[in-house]
Structure 1
Amino acid sequence: MTGDTPAPAAMRNEYAADQGLSETDLAADWYTQFDRWFADAVAFPLPEPNAMIVGTADAAGRPSGRTVLLKGYDPDGFVFFTNYGSRKGAEAAANPWASLVFPWFPMQRQVVVAGRVERIDRAETEAYFATRPRGSQLGAWASSQSQVIPDRAALDDAYRAVAERFADVDQIPPPPHWGGLRVRPASVEFWQGRVGRLHDRLRFRRTEHGDWVTERLAP
């Protein structure tokens, strides 16, 4: 997202590079600003506006990243779901700091979040799990996410075994090793592409006293 590549005409009309992001346009808090931009991304429309890159690191500080779907957000943070035994789940437990990046390339926008990770309440996990398609529910039981498996057949066999196990169960419960993670922001940066690489970067940052400040970063 350099701002140097010409945008399609449709995008230039709605998100012109000289539109920018000014302090006077910024909402009073990060949540309201994110809600505005997320609504823009949905209306654009982007194919999966809730896709985000989740970065975690192990206890030694070795990082890893992957694309995950955001499943909820509120003033307390951003929520996604995973197998707690997966790489991201294990790293979040060992080093409870993470980053999120929403790469809304066609709009020349991105949102970058950094904050602490915590498990959500089990009741919230159960409520969300109940809304998932049955196949996804079975998959959560069948897959030992991020673990080495011998071949595809092993995964398919595990899925069939789980399907048989829950064949007579109307509502499959979430596995004990599966649930939600919430990233509570310490900072949320809103990046708007501009021409000549003079992008707008406005950040909400929580201070050590617990209040929030806004600051402009050089591009």
Structure 2
Amino acid sequence: MSDVRRSETLTGSLEVAFPEFRTPPAEPLGLLSAWLKTATEQGVREPRALALATADARGRTSSRILAVNQVTDRGIVFITHAGSQKGRELAANPWASGVLYWRETSQQITVAGPVRQLPRAAAEELWAARAVFTHPMSSVSLQSEPLRDLDHLAEIRARALQLGEPPRALPCPDTFVAFVLEPDAVEFWANGTDRLHERLRYDRTDSGWDTTRLQP
């Protein structure tokens, strides 16, 4: 008979080291960076894959997976096109929440807070840091706009292939934007035996951060 007290994990390790649960750092972004670094070292697949939820002006939510480009002292930086669904929704309702979930180590981080568009120079710097092979499609595709038909998709592909020869860095499109999610709340969650999960929550205040340990 299986041990029903054990949660599923790919590594076989239920209780990852989480000393900060007992001695929380003063702020969460350094801990978030440390968890990302450790997840990468432990072989977590796509540790920077963030499930980001946004909402339109009527409060109707949408979500998608995107890559975290940077974690700075301001928050979580990501890129997109201004005309994408998330770009349009953030223009109308500049607030988002997100989850980083790592099945391999049975950990997750949730974040929520206002989202600010970064200056054009930041978007251009992040564009330049992208692999050159991503430039053509990001230049020709109007992300999230409707396709006329399947031939239209073939046209976009042909234009991207033509633009990508010879392989080279392309100019940053005007629609390419960078955002930073400046969290008002962050929760670190680590799995445990007998479902005694360790949960550490940070809430932003006028003077810094409050920390709270939450029941499983």
* TM-score > 0.5 by shorter chain: yes
Of 167-176 and 184-193, more deviation after overlay is shown by: 167-176
**Match for residue 146 of structure 1?**
144
Q: Please identify, of 121-130 and 61-70, the stretch whose mean Cα deviation from structure 2 is larger.
A: 121-130
Distance 1:171 1:77 in 2: 28
Question: Measured at CA, do residues 22 and 129 of structure 1 come closer, stay the same or move farther in structure 2, by a change above 3 Å?
Answer: closer
Partners of 1:193 and 1:133 in 2: CA distance: 35
Distance apart, 1:21 and its partner CA: 5.4
Q: Which residue of 1 aligns with 2:212?
A: 215
| Matching residue of 1:102 | 100
Name the residue aligned to 2:7. Answer: 5
Check if 1:52 corresponds to 2:53.
no
115-124 or 148-157, larger mean C-alpha shift = 148-157
Q: Distance in 2 between matches of 1:116 and 1:178?
A: 20
1:187 matches 2:185:
yes
Q: What per-residue deviation string (whole Å, max 9, x for no partner) do you get for residues 155-205 of structure 1?
A: 331343355467689541111111111101101110111223331111111
Of the structure 1 ranges 21-30 and 47-56, higher mean CA displacement relative to structure 2 is found in: 21-30
The worse-fitting range, judged by mean Cα deviation, of 180-189 and 27-36 is 27-36
Which runs of 5 or more residues in structure 2 are unaligned? none
Question: What is the SS of the residue equivalent to 2:108?
Answer: strand
In the other structure, the counterpart of 1:66 is 64
* Percent identity for Structure 1 against Structure 2: 31
Partner SS state of residue 126, structure 2? helix
Deviation at 1:133, TM superposition (A): 2.7
**Where do residues 18-57 of structure 1 align in structure 2 (5 Å cutoff)?**
23-57=21-55
Deviations 1:88-109 (A, max 9, x none): 1111111111011000122111
Which stretch shifts more, 127-136 or 44-53?
127-136
Deviation, structure 1 residue 20: 5.4
Offset, 1:85:
0.7
Deviation of 1:59 after TM superposition, in Å, equals 0.7
Secondary structure (helix, strand or coil) at the match of 1:107 reads coil
Paired with 1:64 and 1:166, the residues of 2 have a C-alpha distance of 32
Verify the 8 A CA contact 2:24 2:211 in the aligned structure 1: no
Name the amino acid aligned to 1:161.
R
The residue matched to 1:127 in structure 2 has which SS? Answer: helix
Q: Which structure 1 residue ranges, 5 or more long, are not aligned?
A: none
- Once the 2 structures are TM-superposed, how far is the Cα of residue 115 of structure 1 from its aligned partner? 0.9
Separation in 2 of the partners of 1:171 and 1:6?
A: 44
The 8 Å contact of residues 54 and 101 in structure 1, kept in 2 or not, is answered as: yes
Q: SS at the partner of 1:26?
A: coil
Q: Is the 8 A contact 2:75 2:180 kept in 1?
A: yes
Once residues 193 and 113 of structure 2 are traced to their aligned partners in structure 1, the CA distance between those partners, rounded to angstroms, is 30
TM-score normalised to structure 2 length = 0.88
Q: Say what the alpha-carbon RMSD is for the aligned residues.
A: 2.4
Aligned to 2:88, what secondary structure does the other structure show? helix
